[in-house]
Amino acid sequence: MSRGTKSTVAIKLTKTVLFDWGNTLMIDFPDAQGKMCDWETVKEVSGAQALLAELSKHHNIYIATNAADSSKTDIIRAFERVGLSKYIDGYFCKASIGLSKYEPGFYPAIISQLGIKPQEVTMIGDTLEKDIYPALEAGLQAVWLNTEGDIADTILPIVEVQNLIGLLELCNG
């Protein structure tokens, strides 16, 4: 991917919103080892608190993560450490659904557990290959948190924001 500007595709968030975990809502420190809930330092991504506080008023918010080391309980503990767990309605991870984001059944399994249609869900994440493309292929809406300003090598209309405050502004339109 090359550097570039963000797209101007607009979106209206669905009632149900899935968020990726690492580098979308909480910083995934590259040198940290083991489960995030056990790291000496955990930190939310800038704007996460404000965004979740606002969205949780009118949306159901879930975490959809590919974290292989952490159980659902571990993930909840990490969110509790930064004060974000109060905004989250549920957590989906490899340990809880038996699939990784790289498997085509990941998002359909979540949709099935939620008992809703794919088009009633928006996925928000920082990785095209794990978060955005598979979500779009499963019929979900998706928003790419593109903090690096990359340009997607695709013809798909990718909705993107450069930070979480940008997402809040996009939603409040």
Residue spans of the domains in the chain: they are 2-172
Neighbours of 9 (CB within 10 A): 12
With a cut of 90, say whether residue 46 has pLDDT above it: yes
With cut-offs at 50, 70 and 90, classify the pLDDT of residue 4.
very low
* pLDDT at site 2: 34
From 1-10, 11-20, 58-67, 74-83, the region with the lowest mean pLDDT = 1-10
pLDDT band at 1 (very low <50, low <70, confident <90, very high): very low
- Tell me the pLDDT tens digit for each residue of 23-33: 999 999 999 99
Which CATH number is correct for 2-172, 3.20.20.140, 3.40.50.1000, 3.40.50.11240, 2.40.50.140?
A: 3.40.50.1000
Structure confidence at residue 173 (pLDDT): 59
Q: Which long-range contacts (CB under 8 A, 24 or more apart) does 107-113 make?
A: 107/64, 107/134, 107/135, 107/138, 107/140, 108/138, 110/18, 110/62, 110/64, 111/138, 111/140
Residue 136, pLDDT above cutoff 80 = yes
